[in-house]
């Protein structure tokens, strides 16, 4: 995009931010006609003050608008910036399987090395170190694609399995950080690759990533349908088929279907899916992490609380949390799961009008996994709500967290 005129770059990033010309113009204090002329190159942008203002509204590094490499800012070390987004996009836009017919295949890492890298990436995600992961993903994607293209039989299914996992890691990370369309693309790629990996359960998890991306894009109905349909196909046929791995994937599809139903306001379906997930979790036993699902009794309760928040019943979400605390399984969960739950609780308390408690939950989540709170757009919305609705001056701790997040007090 470096060779494009600045007006075209402005149009590109305005589209990425899903702003109409009118909305963009209003935020700049300009007319829609002025924006249109800038984007078509009829009007020149020759004042740096205006360019910086445009960059601020579009939330991009001003260097991107100028066609230069962005400078990394120290305050984004734990989050993702447009440098990482564009590098991940570039890696996802590669079509090595086709280009291998015409050009030499890129050098691929050995299978054992790739196994370790993928395992490390999963742990990085589940410890909510999104900035670290975002900077590693472009190389991981390129390595996985090269390995998938170049590996001979009989190791090709394993190479595809690893690439399918990399796409899923990318999808989950991008969804967390608000890049929902890229998240959907990565998840969709994973489904295609998982079929070559000949692993039905991995494909089931890829489907859950697709459904989660659709839900993030506001497509709750298709998200519900895909989760329920695939859950029905993966459901164990009998005791011999009821492995912990299959039960975990089946259970996570039920939970995510429940979240989609909650977004639709379908309380009956929420309860049906959550109750079935509870039954499945009892057969799994304790909280496990098969196929990186973290599925188990405690995670079911976390999703039940999150569904209550989506239904607008913050009080029930808080009551569910009190039950979770009594079971003792919460503290054993990975940081991403626990911090995510505190974010849900903050939303629940906000629905109840208890803004001090909402702030406390954000601080708890930040203590556990700062990136889960500081880097997620939904957390920014919650802390903005806390600041706006708090009577008097917010606590010093909340004011400091808001400053770290770039949210004005």
Q: Could you tell me if residue 230 is inside a domain?
A: yes
Q: Do residue 313 and residue 390 come from a single domain? A: no
Q: Are 241 and 201 in contact (CB under 8 A)?
A: no
Residues 358 and 272 in one domain: no
Residues 223-277: pLDDT tens digits? 999 999 999 999 998 777 889 999 999 999 999 999 999 999 999 999 999 999 9
- Residue 77 CA to residue 83 CA, distance in Å, equals 12
Mapped onto helix, strand or coil, the DSSP state of residue 275 is helix
Q: Rg of the chain's alpha carbons, rounded to an integer?
A: 22
Query: Confidence band (pLDDT; 50, 70, 90) for 341?
Result: very high
pLDDT band of 106, cuts 50, 70, 90: low
State what percent of residues in the chain have pLDDT above 70: 92
Q: Give the tens place of pLDDT for each residue, 133-191.
A: 988 999 999 999 999 998 988 999 999 999 999 999 999 999 998 889 999 999 999 99
Looking at the fold, whether 182 and 78 belong to one and the same domain comes out as yes
> 129 is in which domain, residue-wise?
74-195
> For 186-215, b where at least 16 C-beta lie within 10 A, e where not — what string?
bbbbbbebbebbebebbbbbbbbbbbbbbb
How many domains, the chain?
A: 4
Query: Is 78 a member of any domain?
Result: yes
Domain for residue 211, yes or no?
Answer: no
Co-location of 309 and 237 in the same domain:
yes
309 shares a domain with 279: yes
Domain C-terminal end among 163, 195, 227? 195
Residue 264 falls within a domain, yes or no?
A: yes
- Give the tens place of pLDDT for each residue, 32-82: 999 999 999 999 888 888 898 898 888 777 777 887 755 544 444 457 766
Mean pLDDT of 208-213: 96
Pairwise pLDDT comparison (14 vs 337), residue with the higher score: 337
Q: Do residues 92 and 191 both lie within one domain? A: yes
**Interval 178-205 mean pLDDT:** 93
If you search the block for the tokens 């109409």, which residue do you land on?
Answer: 20
What is d(CA 300, CA 329) in angstroms, rounded to the nearest whole number?
Answer: 11
Q: Which of 140, 161, 195 is the last residue of a domain?
A: 195
Q: Which residues contact 130 (CB under 8 A, 6 or more apart)?
A: 78, 79, 80, 173, 176, 177, 371, 372, 375
Question: What's residue 73's pLDDT?
Answer: 47
pLDDT surpassing 80 at residue 31: yes
Assigned domain for 397 exists: yes
Question: How wide is the angle at C-alpha 335 spanned by C-alphas 332 and 337, nearest 5°?
Answer: 85
Q: For 319-332, write each residue's pLDDT tens digit.
A: 999 888 666 789 88
Final residue of a structural domain among 325, 356, 388: 325
Measured CA to CA, the distance from residue 294 to residue 249 in angstroms comes to 10
Compute the distance between CA of residue 178 and CA of residue 248 in angstroms, rounded to an integer: 26
108 & 157 share domain: yes
Which range has highest mean pLDDT (76-85, 96-105, 385-394)?
385-394
Q: Which DSSP state fits 331?
A: G
To which H or E segment does residue 281 belong?
helix 267-284
Residues 258 and 240 in one domain: yes
Same domain, 244 and 158: no
Residue 214 lies in a domain: no
Instruction: Residue 287: name the closest of 322, 345, 247 by CA.
Output: 247
85 shares a domain with 190: yes
Structure token pair of residue 152: 């001979």
**C-beta atoms surrounding 22 within 10 Å:** 11
- The residue whose two tokens read 């967290």 is 401
Q: How far is 388 from 359, CA to CA, in rounded Å?
A: 12
CA gap 42, 48 in Å, rounded: 18
- Residue pair 394/409 in contact (Cβ under 8 Å)? The answer is yes
Name residue, tokens 């569910």: 320
Cite the DSSP H helix spans in 93-179.
96-99, 111-126, 130-150, 156-176
Whether this prediction's pTM lies above 0.85 is answered by: no
Q: For residues 6 and 101, which has the higher predicted lDDT (pLDDT)?
A: 6
Q: Judge if 59 and 78 occupy the same domain.
A: no
- Are 37 and 106 members of one domain? no
Any domain includes 81: yes
DSSP secondary structure string for all residues of 210-261: HHHHHHHTT-HHHHHHHHHHHHHHHS--SGGG--HHHHHHHHHHHHHHHHHH
Question: What is the mean pLDDT of the segment spanning 395-406?
Answer: 90
Establish if 1 belongs to a structural domain. no
Higher pLDDT residue, 1 or 302?
A: 302
pLDDT tens digits along 224-233: 999 999 999 9
Phi, psi of 29 (to 5 degrees): 75, 30
């Amino acid at each position: 995009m470096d060779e494009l005129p600045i007006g075209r770059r402005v149009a590109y990033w305005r589209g990425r931010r899903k702003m109409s010309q009118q909305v963009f113009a209003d935020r700049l204090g300009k007319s829609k006609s002025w924006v249109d002329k800038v984007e078509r190159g009829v009007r020149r942008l020759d004042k740096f003050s205006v360019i910086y203002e445009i960059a601020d509204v579009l939330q991009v590094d001003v260097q991107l608008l100028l066609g230069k490499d962005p400078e990394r800012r120290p305050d984004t070390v734990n989050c993702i910036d447009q440098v990482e987004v564009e590098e991940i996009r570039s890696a996802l836009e590669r079509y090595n399987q086709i280009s291998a017919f015409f050009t030499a295949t890129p050098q691929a890492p050995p299978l054992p090395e790739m196994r370790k890298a993928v395992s490390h990436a999963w742990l990085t995600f589940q410890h909510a170190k999104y900035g670290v992961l975002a900077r590693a993903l472009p190389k991981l994607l390129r390595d996985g694609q090269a390995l998938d293209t170049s590996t001979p039989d009989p190791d090709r299914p394993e190479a595809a399995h690893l690439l399918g996992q990399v796409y899923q890691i990318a999808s989950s990370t991008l969804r967390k950080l608000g890049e929902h369309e890229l998240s959907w693309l990565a998840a969709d790629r994973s489904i295609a690759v998982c079929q070559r990996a000949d692993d039905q359960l991995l494909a089931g998890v890829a489907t859950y990533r697709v459904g989660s991306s659709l839900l993030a894009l506001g497509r709750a109905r298709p998200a519900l349908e895909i989760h329920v349909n695939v859950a029905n196909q993966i459901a164990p046929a009998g005791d011999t088929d009821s492995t912990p791995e299959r039960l975990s994937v089946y259970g996570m599809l039920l939970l995510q279907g429940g979240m989609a139903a909650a977004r639709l306001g379908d309380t009956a379906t929420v309860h049906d899916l959550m109750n079935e997930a509870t039954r499945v979790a009892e057969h799994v036993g304790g909280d496990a992490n098969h196929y990186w699902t973290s599925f188990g009794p405690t995670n079911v309760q976390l999703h039940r609380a999150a569904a209550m928040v989506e239904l607008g019943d913050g009080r029930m979400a808080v009551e569910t949390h009190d039950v979770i605390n009594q079971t003792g399984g919460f503290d054993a969960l990975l940081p991403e799961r626990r911090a995510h739950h505190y974010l849900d609780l903050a939303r629940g308390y906000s629905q109840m009008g208890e803004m001090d408690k909402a702030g406390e939950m954000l601080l708890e989540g930040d203590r556990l996994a700062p990136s889960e709170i500081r880097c997620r757009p939904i957390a920014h919305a919650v802390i903005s709500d806390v600041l706006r609705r708090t009577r008097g001056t917010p606590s010093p701790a909340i004011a400091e967290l808001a400053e770290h997040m770039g949210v004005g007090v």
